[in-house]
Structure 1
């Protein structure tokens, strides 16, 4: 973030509305993003779940389905460990939410894995390949939902968006996460008006 060239490239990509997948390795997390970049959904490399999301997002943009996480989980753990060994003494900052993550999300999503399996079984009763793909997509979406409130979204707005998405898509986490993302982006655009 100290390089003017990097900031210029990030700004140009953002301004051109091209896909942008920032992965932050700095222990300060998303707090290092300034200006219009604060509104983008940056992921933090110190968190396993966010790295899984990063791989899924890149795969989706490229139109490919990445290999299962078990094929690269070992390398991911080594990568996270290497970040911890870069000499930074600070603990990594958790991304986005200011709420107590474990308590609220464990209650809000208790039984989610069973719900995902049942949803995908109903969607794909006789196509096991598509059922497995459905479960993977739903699980990735659940990881996004579990990240909680983005730092630039007000608590009241977040609660309104989350409740509506849960009401509209009670058994589809993928569509819930998609609807929330669209609503967050719309809120950000409204703030710029």
Structure 2
């Protein structure tokens, strides 16, 4: 038990040290992120100032180009005054890197129970197979002879005689007689075309 207690204390100390290092690194990270945001703000302000200088130069060139030298001198005075020193620069010196203290490696925890992969239930349903045949698939007829004859009988006598003439069939007799001769040789499309 004495050996285990010493090992436990050693690991607890290593955890505390690591947590302290993590806290120090997080503080440094926050500091760097804040500095980055400040730099971005300064960059935007500088870009805006340069844009304003460009605008002022263009306007001055348009209104009185002889005053450009005066404007340039005024900008030079801005950089030469003590106004720049009003704001104290932040400490940009890099902080000393924090290196983690080496700790003794620990053996991975082993479990007495073997790892068991979870079972996945899969339901298998059998679908009946349709026997393969070499016979070609013939589509079902869309209209029957009775349908064709019914359509022919609904046609006017002039249209059915015109269709009979187009199919080289005698157009003499009653509509029913002409329909009887045409029903085997015309399609539904032929009837629609004749009545169109």
User: Do they superpose with TM above 0.5?
Assistant: no
**Structure ranking higher on relative contact order (CA contacts 8 Å, 6+ apart):** 1
**TM-score band w.r.t. shorter chain:** under 0.3
Structure 1-normalised TM-score? Answer: 0.16
